């Protein structure tokens, strides 16, 4: 299983058009790029933002929006570079610091993400996003008490944000305090019942409590609200394995890998599938390496030992 640790809050910059000047032309490219991004065509958007930058290389909004498009393509290194350019030309660009911090997290650069969180807490202290980013970083370092404090501070600054409650619930899930996690999810649902991560986390709690059908129902609800998250399909595949629907399960796990090939939980689930199928060689192909690299991952040791016993 996998929990989404970072959320793209891509607030695109816009431009006011004037006469047919450089400002007008670059603004048109920016707006056309935004339209392509809204049409889920980030590659075309990048080309249009680049046209704007060729007219004005110091156009911070174009650098920012271009970075957002790279994030949509999971091109986090290029996104970080473009967010950095936006910050270079506009040092007080708080949203660029936030988005760059999220991209650093997704790129595994946790200390750099912490630097952006620290900048935001110092320079934009009333913005919940700085505390949210700091909480995400603390979560990556398994500093769970600090993560909770940051998420709670973010909630104080933005009490109607259901995501912040879900993140607090996630920390309590890690700490195996399922009752507290479920209470927070109820609060989050009262604010936004359509939040997919809420239902995904609820599914994971149900799975850990052995309620596999309940887990399946909850993750189906998550998928109905967002059908583009690879780890939702991976979690659903795992639940189907535990419900004895192996072929349906492996199809979804493979679909998840096609969507995101960097999720070790998906390869663990493939290993579980092959254990259930009695295929020792294939099972160990996945579980042996995971046992070496992620020995603390839930279910890895259990199914590695079962694979060896086949």
- The 10s digit of each residue's pLDDT in 44-62 is 999 999 999 999 999 999 9
* Domains within the chain, CATH numbers bracketed: 21-91 (1.25.40.10), 228-310 (1.25.40.10)
pLDDT of residue 20: 62
The conformation of residue 239, written as its DSSP 8-state character, comes to H
pLDDT tens digits, 66-121: 999 999 998 999 999 999 999 999 999 999 999 999 999 999 999 999 999 999 99
* Distance from C-alpha of 103 to C-alpha of 125, rounded to nearest angstrom: 21
Task: Assign 7 a pLDDT band (cuts: 50, 70, 90).
Answer: very low
Res 41: pLDDT: 94
Give tens-digit pLDDT for 153-203: 999 999 999 999 999 999 999 999 999 999 999 999 999 999 999 999 999
pTM for the full predicted model: 0.83
CA dihedral 137, 12, 97, 185 (to 10 degrees): -20
The reported pLDDT for the residue numbered 13 is 58
Per-residue pLDDT at 11: 56
Query: pLDDT (tens digit, 9 = 90+) per residue, 29-42?
Result: 899 999 999 999 99
Binning pLDDT at 50, 70 and 90, where does residue 16 land? very low
CA atoms within 13 A on the CB side of 206: 21
């Amino acid at each position: 299983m996998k929990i989404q640790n970072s959320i793209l809050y891509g607030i695109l910059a816009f431009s006011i058009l004037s006469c047919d000047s450089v400002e007008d032309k670059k603004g048109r490219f920016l707006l056309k790029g935004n339209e392509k991004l809204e049409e889920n065509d980030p590659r075309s958007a990048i080309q249009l933002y680049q046209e704007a930058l060729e007219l004005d290389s110091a156009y911070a909004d174009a650098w920012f929006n271009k970075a957002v498009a790279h994030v949509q393509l999971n091109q986090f290194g290029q996104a970080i570079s473009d967010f950095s350019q936006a910050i270079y030309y506009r040092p007080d660009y708080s949203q660029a610091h936030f988005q760059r911090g999220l991209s650093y997290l997704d790129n595994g650069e946790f200390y750099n993400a912490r630097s952006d969180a620290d900048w935001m807490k110092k320079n934009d202290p009333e913005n919940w996003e700085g505390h949210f980013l700091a909480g995400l970083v603390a979560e990556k370092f398994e500093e769970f008490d600090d993560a909770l404090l940051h998420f709670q501070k973010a909630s104080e600054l933005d009490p109607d944000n259901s995501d912040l409650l879900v993140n607090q619930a996630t920390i309590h899930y890690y700490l195996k305090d399922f009752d507290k996690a479920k209470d927070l999810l109820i609060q989050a649902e009262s604010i936004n019942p359509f939040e997919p991560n809420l239902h995904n986390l609820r599914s994971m709690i149900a799975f850990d409590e052995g309620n596999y059908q309940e887990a399946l129902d909850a993750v189906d609800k998550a998928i109905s609200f967002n059908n583009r998250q690879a780890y939702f399909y991976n979690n659903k595949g795992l639940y189907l394995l535990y419900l004895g629907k192996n072929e349906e399960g492996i199809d979804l796990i493979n679909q998840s890998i096609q969507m995101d090939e960097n999720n070790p939980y998906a390869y663990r689930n493939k290993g579980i599938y092959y254990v259930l199928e009695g295929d020792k060689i294939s099972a160990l192909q996945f579980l042996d390496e995971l046992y070496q690299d992620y020995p603390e991952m839930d279910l890895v040791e259990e199914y590695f030992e079962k694979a060896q016993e086949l």
